[in-house]
Chain A
Amino acid sequence: MAAPALQAARRWSGLGLGVRLAVCHLPGITQVRGSRYAPEFRDPLTDKEYYRKPVAELTEDEKYDQELKKTQLIKAAAATETSSVFADPAISKFTNMMMKGGNKTLARSLMAQTLEAVKRKQFEKYRVATAEEQATIERNPYRVFHQALKNCEPVIGLVPILKGGHFYQVPVPLSDRRRRFLAMKWMITECRENKPRRTLMPEKLSNELLEAFHNRGPVIKRKHNMHKMAEANRALAHYRWW
């Protein structure tokens, strides 16, 4: 499918193996975007369980795969990928979305402070609660975080569709990824914009997360507004073509 010039350029050149040869000797063509890894590089696997399996338990495919990996080239893992037990993809994604200007250390410390604040608040409630209430209070901040974001996810979304010169908001099913993104985005936007000045992010975020955990609060309200608008526009659903 690629032009024959590109295919010729992919073979050995003086640059050595592993680097994707930018077609630099063709005038007027420079590679601007794209991975610098050659196509034979494999993605790294940071799953401890995969490597801990005893040799006897491996299937034929897996044995072949492991033998193959000894000679194959593997890309470098990103600095954010870990095989640690504390690594949580949702928390990492949320931290990245909170990050401004590439300041990952600040975003990570804010996330840690938020989780600590959530835990402290729940423990305060636990200490003054009666025995029956103590059973219902959730003190694990990670579970509070996940449940709060799950409660904030919208079920259906709206998409502007151009028809007859006008844009109509058409209700449309959303993918899992999009729903998770919207929940996180709404949470962060709510904390950044609609709060009194000089309140710190961990405090705002912990309040919002606890409210969303109990299905109240502005983020849940925004989700319900989205659902109501979708319900109001349900007649326009036929404007979709997918």
Chain B
Amino acid sequence: MATPSLRSRLARFANPGKPVLKPNKPLILANRVGNRRREKGEATCITEMSMMMACWKQNEFRDEACRKEIQDFFECSSRAQKAGKMRSIQETLEQSESLPPHKMTKLLQRFPNKSHLS
């Protein structure tokens, strides 16, 4: 199997044959890495949100009348946020062979590929 190369693959004047590759973006390494495909969860705090909105509908969107529902909604959202954080910490603890994509992107942003000569 020949090693992959770009020689005579692109449409250039120096290239006598037909082009093999027709890239729509420049063939330059970007300073970012694509995200992993992870399972999507489902929406949290739907019940609290619908209770709060029902209360708003009855009281013409005044916040003073719906204090309790708003407080419940805030508590639910903070709990959901903490749960999400614990889950992501668990995932980072499990994965050890390579950096997760967002950390890799951050590293590449700090040490980017040189697009200039000097």
Q: What residues make up the interface of A, taking CB atoms closer than 8 Å to B? A: 1-2, 23, 28-34, 155-156, 171, 173-175, 224, 227-228, 230-231, 234, 237-242
Contacts and interface: CB of A to CB of B under 8 A. Distances in A.
A227 B77 contact: no
Contacts of B61: 224, 227-228, 231
Closest 9 CB pairs of A and B: A173-B77, A241-B40, A240-B43, A34-B110, A231-B53, A33-B110, A29-B111, A224-B61, A241-B41
Nearest to A170: B43
Contact of B49 (A1, A234, A241): A234
A231 B57 contact: yes
B30 interface: no
A239 to B, nearest CB: 8
A237 B49 contact: yes
Q: In terms of DSSP, what is the predominant structure of the interface of chain A?
A: loop
Contacts of A28: 113-114
Interface of B: 40-46, 49-50, 52-53, 56-57, 61, 63, 70, 73-74, 76-77, 80-81, 84, 99, 103, 107, 109-114
Contacts of B84: 242
Contacts of A239: 43
A32 B111 contact: yes
Nearest to A35: B110
A241 B80 CA distance: 12
B91 to A, nearest CB: 14
A238 B42 contact: yes
A183 to B, nearest CB: 13
Contacts of A242: 41, 43-44, 80, 84
Given A32-B111, A228-B61, A175 B43 contact: no
A80 B113 CA distance: 35
Nearest to A27: B114
A1 B97 CA distance: 8
30 contacts: A1-B99, A2-B107, A23-B111, A28-B113, A28-B114, A30-B114, A31-B110, A31-B111, A32-B109, A34-B110, A155-B73, A156-B49, A173-B49, A173-B73, A173-B76, A174-B77, A227-B61, A228-B61, A230-B53, A234-B53, A237-B43, A238-B42, A238-B43, A239-B43, A241-B40, A241-B41, A241-B42, A242-B43, A242-B44, A242-B80
Contacts of A240: 42-44
Contacts of B56: 227, 231
A174 B78 CA distance: 9
A141 B50 CA distance: 37
A155 B63 contact: yes
B100 to A, nearest CB: 10
A33 B105 CA distance: 12
Contacts of B42: 238, 240-241
Nearest to A6: B111
